[in-house]
Amino acid sequence: MTDTDQAAALPTTAPREGLRGYGIFLIVTGGISLAAALILTIEKVNLLENPEEALACDLSAFVSCGGVVNQWQASVFGFPNPLMGIVGFTIVVMLGILLATGTVLPRWFWAGIAVGTTFGIGFVTWLQSQSIYDIQVLCPYCMVVWLMMIPMFVVSIGHVLQEYRPGSGVARFVTEWRVLIIALWYVVVASLIWFQFGTTLWA
């Protein structure tokens, strides 16, 4: 094995450029999502204690936590979805703290980030479709998680690609155009909501 091969086989000894900023980004997006998950959990408990009482986030017939948290889609795995969010986003915040403080993570760790964020965006996308087209009610705190999960996925995948395919065209594309990708994603989701609900959202 040549010296070059040996060096390539060794773990990275210095943080890749931009990882501290990515860590701060995870702290912010993960922290906001964690707060939303905690509030939803509290609202779920309040609803169980007082089934007839309106929740603070029940803004209209079409924008309401109460109209969503009692549906089966809100407990897909047999327990309230926000509990899964509390665990998942706590991990995200912890990762953000590690990266922001310059901790070097093993290379295999990035595969875990890819799997976790891909599962998260897939689950959120499914919940979006259920909320818009099946339940036909929008949960405000769920929408906060949607807003955070989309950029979390795009930015995270960009960093994963930089780790495994540095310099590749797809890595450069996702990294350089991530703001546009996120913006277009927001536009698509907002358009789906508008075409489904139109002016009845605040009725």
Domains of the chain plus CATH, in order, are 15-200 (1.20.1440.130)
- The strand pairing partners of 63, in sequence order, are 138
Number of H helices, E strands in the chain: 8, 0
Residues 182 and 150 sit within 8 Å (Cβ to Cβ): yes
Q: pLDDT grade, residue 16 (50/70/90)?
A: low
Tell me the pLDDT of the chain averaged across its residues: 87
Residues 154 and 161 sit within 8 Å (Cβ to Cβ): no
Cα end-to-end distance, the chain, whole Å = 70
**pTM, two decimal places:** 0.86
Provide the 3-class DSSP secondary structure of residue 139.
coil
Residue found under tokens 């906060």: 144
Res. 173: pLDDT tops 50: yes
